[in-house]
Structures are given as structure tokens and as C-alpha cells.
Amino acid sequence: MKFLLLSAAALIAGTALAAADDLPVIVNPTLNWTGFYAGVHGAWIRNIGDAVRTGIVGVPATAVPNRTNLGDDGLGGGGQIGYQMQFGNVVAGIETDFTLADVGRARSSVSPASADPACQCTATTELSSEMNWFGSVRGRVGVAVPDLGTFFDRSLIYLTGGLAYAQIEHRGQITVTPPGVGLQATSDDVKTGFTVGAGTEIALTQNVSIKSETLYYNLKDENLTLARAGDQAAYRFKSDGWISRIGVNVRF
């Protein structure tokens, strides 16, 4: 985890500084990105996680799925606050954000629970994953584009990366009928991981700007064991995906 975060930060800083070297140091005298800022945003979230079976005891292996896709799209909204400083055309800072989310999917499958044709037993497997909120603490390094008569005038183009965390709820249940034996488990934890991405912020005035950014996030896997009596099935839930946001910032 720490190695990934440090590697991402080093890549972001190196790439942004290299890009800054290729631009003329022309600072817009009427616009400066230095200072504290706060704002709000709307978000589209694409979770591409899945559940992979890692072990099974008692229940026939053919009765429950090896892998279940739990990917889903959802919307969210929240706010951000940060501080940054401008050095020539280079702008560096730190930002923290919080997004309320509604992203989740439940999958159900039914399979024979016995290889014996005379047995009418079935196993119903239900797996689900739900994200209720997402947050991050990230560094930002970018290039302030001066008035050069281009489309990106009065804008900040940046790379970003750092710590990601989210409240994730995973559920699993296997019901064998007859006789109606149920294996189940639930986890509801805050998962941490990393996020990297890029964005653009365009100044409308000295103090107001609109922003657009896309981040990839990868959170720690959840190992869940569905158990009852001597029967059990273990699954590893993976949570990663993309979050795209459009918002407004006010500098003060």
C-alpha cells in the first residue's frame, strides 16, 4: 500500500514538472491559484468489483459459483476542501473530499446441490456489494495555463493521487433446499486503498472555478466466510473502479 502511494505521488510530481518545463513561464497577472478553496461536486461512480470463491467445505463445489460480477454504476454528490500554492506556472497542493454514493448490486444464482439425479436439492447463492460513501486525501500537482490564446486559457491541468477510503457493505448467503440449510455472513467496514487520476479546473473569476476530474480507486479486498454448523464457503470481494466528478470551487 505505502509503496503504491509513494510510487503514484512520485509519478504525478515528475510528470507534472516535466510538462511545466515545456511551457513558457508566463504568469497571468490577474489570476493566481494560491490559497485555500472549498466547493461541491456531483459524481458518477463505476464499481467494477467482483466476488471470487476461495474455499468450500461441506457444500458441493458445483453448487455455488466460482466468480460473481458485482459491478454497478451509481450517482453521488459531496464536497471538497484544499490548499495549493503557485510557483511560476506550477501549482501544487493537497485536497480532501467526501462523496455520498448509491452504488450497489446483488446477484443470485441457483444450481443443483447434488450430483445424484434422484435428489432435487438446489443451492441458491446470493452475493451483494454496496458503497454508501467515498472519500480521499490527495496531493495535486499541475500546470497553470496562462493567456496564450488557446482553449485552455485561465485553466489548471493537474494530476492527483493519494489515500482513498469508503464504507463498503458485503453480504453473502447460500440456501440449500431441501432442507433449507442456510450459510450466511455480512461485513460492513471502512476499506482503505489508493486513488490516482487527473483533472482540469477552469477559472471563471479570480475566486470561482469549475472543475472536472476522473479518478481510479482500488480498495482493500474483503474476505468473507459464509458458515453454518460444519458447512462453509469463503469468498474474496474486490472493490475497485472509477469516479468522475464535476464541481465548483471558491478560493478565499
CATH number at 179 reads 2.40.160.20
DSSP H or E stretch at residue 83: strand 72-87
DSSP H or E stretch at residue 41: strand 35-47
Q: What is the mean pLDDT of residues 197-222?
A: 95
Model pLDDT, residue 76: 96
Model pLDDT, residue 231: 84
User: What 3 state SS string does 113-166 have?
Assistant: CCCCCCCCCEEEEEEEEEEEEEEEEEEEEEEEECCCCCCCCCEEEEEEEEEEEE
pTM here is: 0.82
Tell me, what amino acid is at 81?
A: I
The residue range of the domain holding 201 is: 2-251
Residue-wise pLDDT for 136-173, tens only, equals 999 999 999 877 766 667 899 999 999 999 999 999 99
For residues 181 and 248, the answer to whether their CB atoms sit within 8 Å is no
Q: Which residue do the cell numbers 451509481 mark?
A: 74
Residue-wise pLDDT for 30-78, tens only, equals 689 999 999 999 999 999 889 999 999 887 788 888 999 999 999 999 9
For residue 179, is the peptide bond before it cis, meaning its omega torsion is within 30 degrees of 0? yes
Q: What's the structural domain count of the chain?
A: 1
Nearest to residue 192, comparing CAs of 163, 162, 215? 163
Residue 192 C-alpha cell reads as 482503505
